[in-house]
Amino acid sequence: MLIKRARFTEPLPSEITPRSLFESRREFMQQLAVGSIAASAMLDSALAQNTAPRSKLAARANPAYFAKDKPTAFADATSYNNFYEFGTDKGDPMLYAGSMKTQPWTVRIDGEVKKPMTLDIDSLLKVAPLEERLYRLRCVEGWSMAIPWVGYSLAELIRKVEPTGNAKFVEFTSLADPKQMPGVGSRVLDWPYVEGLRIDEANHPLALLCVGMYGQTLLNQNGAPVRVVLPWKYGFKSAKSIVRIRFTETQPHTAWNKSAPSEYGFYSNVNPEVDHPRWSQAAERRIGEDGFFAKKRKTLMFNGYPEVAALYTGMDLKKFF
């Protein structure tokens, strides 16, 4: 008998590689489907890239956007990632993203704007003073981190290009280069990766155009050289390695919403009252807190950022999930 399988099924939380494996070189290498010598060389290279000095960024800490959480350890934040362009395992981005070239890099900004432009990364850095903000970021799979990001409010860039009255949404497109990104050859998603926001969401001061973390430029596995960070939404809304920002009159067709619309709504706000069809969203596991089997913490509405609630006044947040 033929069994029809879904086009793509995201792994259950129980299937996610435990953090403890990343702390054990021997166990981690045993998980790699390559020879032991190649695995050792690959892991050594990845670890060397993680610990290599990065360009420091001159950024002032903004106390208005600094969560009281304990920051996640740098080693955890850079080794346990979702970046499907490099593979679906949490360790794949660290292993395979290091060879991605981030210089030169340009971002095209166009669509419903009066001043379309293409900016290189140096120009993006000069749009507004850089700030360090400690944001929580929660993954739909049930884990979270608290990371000191570096960047500035996306609204600063939006003002620079002057959206027209027709601009109702902002669409973000990530790099999709199969020569540099082995995951792009898979059928996990329709590439390139696309995400989107309503323009009022994009203009909220919390929406961050991000160029660094922990006081330094981003590592490739974390979305170098430029990404967005939207702390009140699930992590997959925060597009990485952005090459285009387009202003549109109609709602963008986003990657996960196209792939599984019953599971991933356009808004994707952190809402513990709306379960994922295959698991609860009421609790989460903070990476780095006393091991994989530690008691989970309660998930907060909008991930603990109530100041965004006014954006959704009058909306049924179970219908517009």
pLDDT, residue 177, reads: 98
49-63, 147-161, 210-224, 303-317: least confidently modelled range:
49-63
pLDDT band at 51 (very low <50, low <70, confident <90, very high): low
pLDDT, residue 174, reads: 98
Contact between 288 and 73 under an 8 Å Cβ cutoff? The reply is yes
Contact between 32 and 42 under an 8 Å Cβ cutoff? The reply is yes
pLDDT tens for residues 237-256? 999 999 999 999 999 999 99
**Cα separations in angstroms, 203 against 90, 154, 208, 230:** 31, 6, 9, 11
Query: What is the residue-averaged pLDDT of the chain?
Result: 89
pLDDT band at 49 (very low <50, low <70, confident <90, very high): confident
Q: Which residues of 47-62 are buried (b: 16+ CB within 10 A; e: fewer)?
A: eebbeeebeebebeeb
Closest CA to 62 of 138, 136, 129: 129
Q: Is residue 259 part of a domain?
A: yes
pLDDT at 101 over 60: yes
Say which amino acid occupies 7.
Answer: R
Q: Is residue 5 part of a domain?
A: no
Contact between 30 and 38 under an 8 Å Cβ cutoff? The reply is no
pLDDT, residue 103, reads: 96
Say which amino acid occupies 251.
Answer: Q
pLDDT band at 295 (very low <50, low <70, confident <90, very high): confident
Q: Is residue 280 part of a domain?
A: yes
Q: Is residue 317 part of a domain?
A: no
Using CA atoms, how far apart are residues 300 and 69, in angstroms rounded to an integer? 13
pLDDT, residue 15, reads: 41
Q: Is residue 2 part of a domain?
A: no
Query: In the chain, pLDDT over 70 holds for what percent of residues?
Result: 84
Q: Is residue 7 part of a domain?
A: no
Using CA atoms, how far apart are residues 48 and 141, in angstroms rounded to an integer? 29
Count the neighbouring beta carbons within 10 Å of the beta carbon of residue 302.
20
pLDDT band at 14 (very low <50, low <70, confident <90, very high): very low
Mean pLDDT of 6-21: 41
pLDDT at 1 over 50: no
Enclosing domain of residue 291: 15-312
Give the pTM. Answer: 0.87
Q: Is residue 319 part of a domain?
A: no
pLDDT, residue 10, reads: 43
pLDDT at 4 over 60: no
Query: In the chain, pLDDT over 90 holds for what percent of residues?
Result: 80
Mean pLDDT of 258-278: 96
Using CA atoms, how far apart are residues 310 and 12, in angstroms rounded to an integer? 33
CATH of the domain at 72: 3.90.420.10
pLDDT, residue 50, reads: 74
Using CA atoms, how far apart are residues 166 and 160, in angstroms rounded to an integer? 17
pLDDT, residue 293, reads: 73
169-174 vs 194-198, strand pairing mode: antiparallel
Q: Is residue 22 part of a domain?
A: yes
pLDDT at 175 over 70: yes
pLDDT at 215 over 80: yes
Using CA atoms, how far apart are residues 243 and 222, in angstroms rounded to an integer? 15
pLDDT, residue 292, reads: 64
pLDDT at 60 over 90: yes
pLDDT band at 294 (very low <50, low <70, confident <90, very high): confident
191-200, 289-298, 303-312: least confidently modelled range:
289-298
Phi, psi angle pair for 279, to nearest 5° = -165, 165
Using CA atoms, how far apart are residues 311 and 285, in angstroms rounded to an integer? 27
Mean pLDDT of 286-297: 83
Beta strands in the chain (DSSP E): 60-66, 106-111, 117-120, 131-138, 143-153, 169-174, 194-198, 208-213, 216-217, 227-229, 242-248, 283-286, 297-298
Segments in the chain forming alpha helices (H):
19-23, 25-30, 36-51, 74-77, 92-96, 121-125, 154-161, 199-202, 255-259
For the chain, how many structural domains are there in total? 1
